[in-house]
């Protein structure tokens, strides 16, 4: 369970590492001559999306709990390398958070974390503007939490009733289908290339081809709905990068 709970942290760590990797690579392009029309970009990503949790909500409703919204906010980052052939290789990671729902004295919520390695291709470019499709393969985890809504507790309260919070988690392999647009707002240019701020957007869909089982700590949870991290999203991108001449 501890491994599954750290999926969000891992996704953000991967995203941060990728951002620094590609940002440093793009900055070094101004110092090294190149004859290829490649480049590198690193960026933060923020957006919203929908995750299909209808089966989970149906189970909650049948037990008297409030249902949760299927709209989620995501924050993360990534980067990619552009090759002279138009090939794109990159990665990204995200933390995806939903709103809490109140059910009497309890609150329930869903948290998601995932990361992808992406492969894409530039299908159209015009000066600093580029369009491309992406196909990504990765892993994600979903944690569902129910906790008692109390303002404060004494040690005696905890000892008398330690079961005030329950977390169950599931995870599995994910696919990422997306299209993207990048615009390089250049701040500098020389004979080797140009560099500046990257602005753009991504729109896509995550698929969960193999839906995993639910677990709590080291216990397998039987009878849980088979749901995956599936749904559309749209994200804004902001970062830095460079394009070689």
Residue 16 CA to its chain's centroid (Å)? 12
pTM of the model: 0.78
Q: How far apart are CA 129 and CA 184, in angstroms?
A: 7
For 194-242, the pLDDT digits (tens) are 889 999 999 999 999 888 788 887 788 888 888 889 999 999 999 998 8
Contact of 180 with 168, CB cutoff 8 Å:
no
Question: 196: helix, coil or strand?
Answer: strand
Place of tokens 């990619």: 80
Q: How far apart are CA 79 and CA 182, in angstroms?
A: 12
* CB environment 120-153: b (16+ within 10 A), e (fewer): bebeeeeeeebebebebebbbbbbbbbeeeeeee
For 21-73, the pLDDT digits (tens) are 444 444 444 433 333 468 889 999 999 999 999 999 999 899 888 899 999 99
- pLDDT top residue among 31 and 153: 153
Nearest to 216 by CA among 4, 9, 19: 4
Sketch out the chain's domains with CATH numbers. 2-32+39-244 (2.40.160.20)
Cα four-point dihedral sign 177, 204, 86, 196: negative
In this predicted structure, the answer to whether residue 2 has a pLDDT above a threshold of 50 is no
């Amino acid at each position: 369970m501890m491994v599954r709970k750290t999926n969000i942290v891992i996704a953000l760590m991967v995203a941060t590492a990728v951002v620094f990797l590609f940002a440093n690579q793009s900055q070094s392009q101004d110092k090294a001559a190149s004859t290829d029309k490649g480049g590198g970009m690193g960026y933060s990503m923020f957006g919203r999306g929908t995750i299909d949790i209808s089966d989970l909500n149906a189970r909650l409703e049948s037990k008297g709990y409030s249902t949760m919204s299927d709209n989620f906010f995501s924050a993360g980052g990534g980067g990619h390398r552009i090759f002279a052939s138009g090939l794109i290789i990159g990665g990204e990671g995200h933390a995806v958070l939903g709103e809490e729902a109140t059910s009497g004295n309890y609150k329930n919520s869903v948290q998601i974390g995932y990361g992808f390695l992406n492969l894409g291709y530039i299908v159209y470019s015009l000066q600093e503007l580029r369009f491309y499709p992406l196909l990504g393969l990765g892993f994600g985890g979903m944690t569902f939490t129910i906790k008692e809504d109390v303002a404060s507790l004494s040690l005696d309260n905890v000892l008398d009733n330690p079961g005030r919070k329950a977390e169950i988690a599931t995870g599995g392999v994910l696919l990422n289908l997306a299209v993207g647009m990048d615009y390089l707002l250049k701040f500098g240019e020389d004979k080797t290339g140009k560099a500046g701020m990257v602005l753009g957007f991504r729109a896509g869909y995550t698929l969960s081809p193999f839906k995993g089982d639910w677990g709590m700590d080291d216990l397998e949870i039987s009878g849980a709905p088979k749901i995956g991290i599936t749904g559309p999203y749209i994200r804004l991108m902001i970062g830095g990068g460079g394009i070689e001449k």
